[in-house]
Structure 1
């Protein structure tokens, strides 16, 4: 029996290796996600990363009205430059990230030790603008505190007594870069690819062979129908695993090239992590192939199967996409949900966060039960005579 299963398995693998569409789904499509994500991470890294050897430019309107402030900014390494004639239009068009406007009455107000106002023109819809805004507000806040302290001290008041709190930010994130938020996109891309890797083989070996009238001759061979199904199933599983492996290694290369130094993400996905992900998601691969075979078996035509299975990868990937914008606190009961638990665990692993063995065990156990149930359903469907003609 096992020899017959291996013969069927080898036949399907060889046939689909010769099929350009199967190879494209298994080895080309998995590269698209890492390629796109790598480009995005690289672009965001270039925007956020500050070169310490390069002075940051700050266009200023009315710099002559605040010589002390300009001297402070230059001491901070800021290159103060004249602003364009139409400051708002320049910021809106992206020609400048932000522009500082010093009014004419600044000198009089500041000299009289009154509150002097400045305007900061910024486009908050652009990431460079938000980063420049945060950086400029930090400089202005520091200057404001220094001047305030000097004014208070002239009245014999201890400046430190007016500061009951000293606030320090303690970042507990495993990453050091805002671009690592994009790592939340890895799980949905991975899950989508997992449910896509062997889909063409699953359709072709069931619905496709039925339409080509080549399924009936296979069924009269001296092999149990469940054995025939298992051979085809294992072939589809192999292509799914190959697609997953290709994508993971592509992610590793993308992370390696996306940034340098402290902005490199290659440590987030090393070889050991890839092996762990492959083992952790193996039950989900079996379940995915099981769903594909169920749909391909019960549908009446190849086109109908293609319609349903084309939409299938979106269903488990949608929760992962939602987590990109609204992350959740991982809880134990979530590990009992197939696909969703793998999405959460994969996200933690890619971001370098620690995961518990109990969470992995629960996730794999529940998904294995689902995969076993689907495999049993497919075996029963192969026992039906309607398999030959469609139902």
Structure 2
């Protein structure tokens, strides 16, 4: 082994010891990667419950004896009488206080074909009340349409005349695209993990070592600044890669606790898909650590580095969000770091065949920018102003 490799190996081992010495700080750094899959599971269950499931809604009915068929229709829609609410839920629904008043002349007006007004009383500014009110509106609308169709049939009118044009939708999406909610969240979380997991290591090995005078002592040794930067980059990037791997592994486990069959969706994260995702995110891990090291060395103190470098976390969340809002995406976005990987990840979860040319193109540009940052930082560390935080 050459002398240069021995020096680099020693520096990398030193950085690893520094990074993994404080177990509590390391757990905090990886906390996002651990909690993200749990967040995906919880949010998915909540969204599926809102989109598909119809939990019981308890309403204070007034005048139920006047409209037994309407009450039965409500019950079929899981809109039940407040008196039937379980004891542990009575206080909640009493606070929401959703009331429907049925007029005493309901049966007479229904028989004579007159319009009937049901009075719905609730606090419409309460967010917890809005979904039940929406379900009540849909139930009343469906009941009213059913009555209207029956009246037309009795008069010899074909109800199909009310719908002269019908749009038939045919979904051409592949099975892997049916659960875009998870894929969007997972794509953003993977990007965030690449930036957040190695953040504390990057800051501590740059601004932290400078405050502890470790950097000055290190530069006094017969070792090049390039090797020092590479060792710090490898250390921070390794933690970032661990964060990405944790999300991939834990997400594949946590999604198994979500019943996607309720919305006819499937989600699988097999080894080949995980390998492609890891191939896309590896350059991002090194790119993120290089950016964090470069910015941290420009600051004057450890506290300033924490606040300044922390701003970089917004990049992997902001760029995918902007891209998702764009209808016509320029071709050059495929070449940019984060933007290109974000679109590749989106296509992977849609079930689109991997465009390997685009993968290598965006990875190549990301690596090139990372190399440029490393070279610039190695040159800057030769300056006394940067090492001593004089400017």
User: Do the aligned residues in 1 keep the contact of 2:210 with 2:387 (CA within 8 Å)?
Assistant: yes
Q: Which residue of 2 aligns with 1:39?
A: 42
Greater shift in the superposed pair: 255-264 or 229-238: 255-264
Change (3 A) 1:247 1:163: closer
Q: 1:94 aligns with which of 93, 96, 114?
A: 96
CA distance in 2 between partners of 1:208 and 1:20 (Å): 17
CA distance in 2 between partners of 1:61 and 1:169 (Å): 41
Q: Which residue of 1 aligns with 2:295?
A: 295
User: Do the aligned residues in 1 keep the contact of 2:198 with 2:236 (CA within 8 Å)?
Assistant: yes
TM-score when normalising by structure 2: 0.79
Aligned pairs for 1:338-377 within 5 A:
338-347=337-346, 349=348, 352=350, 354=352, 357=355, 359-377=358-376
RMSD, matched Cα: 3.9
1:300-344 CA deviation, whole Å, 9 max, x = no partner?
Answer: 333332231233212442344667xx7443623432332234344
Change (3 A) 1:381 1:354: same
The Cα of 1:241 is off from its aligned counterpart by 0.9
Q: Which blocks of at least 5 consecutive residues in structure 1 are unaligned?
A: none
Q: Which blocks of at least 5 consecutive residues in structure 2 are unaligned?
A: 85-90
CA distance in 2 between partners of 1:80 and 1:203 (Å): 57
CA distance in 2 between partners of 1:210 and 1:321 (Å): 36
3-state SS in 1 of match to 2:267: helix
User: Do the aligned residues in 1 keep the contact of 2:179 with 2:266 (CA within 8 Å)?
Assistant: no
Q: Which residue of 2 aligns with 1:9?
A: 12
Aligned pairs for 1:122-137 within 5 A:
129-137=129-137
User: Do the aligned residues in 2 keep the contact of 1:47 with 1:128 (CA within 8 Å)?
Assistant: no
Change (3 A) 1:42 1:160: closer
CA distance in 2 between partners of 1:328 and 1:353 (Å): 20
The Cα of 1:165 is off from its aligned counterpart by 3.0
CA distance in 2 between partners of 1:179 and 1:103 (Å): 45
Greater shift in the superposed pair: 377-386 or 107-116: 377-386
CA distance in 2 between partners of 1:297 and 1:342 (Å): 27
CA distance in 2 between partners of 1:104 and 1:135 (Å): 24
Change (3 A) 1:215 1:55: closer
Q: Which residue of 2 aligns with 1:50?
A: 53
Q: Which residue of 2 aligns with 1:214?
A: 214
User: Do the aligned residues in 1 keep the contact of 2:109 with 2:115 (CA within 8 Å)?
Assistant: yes
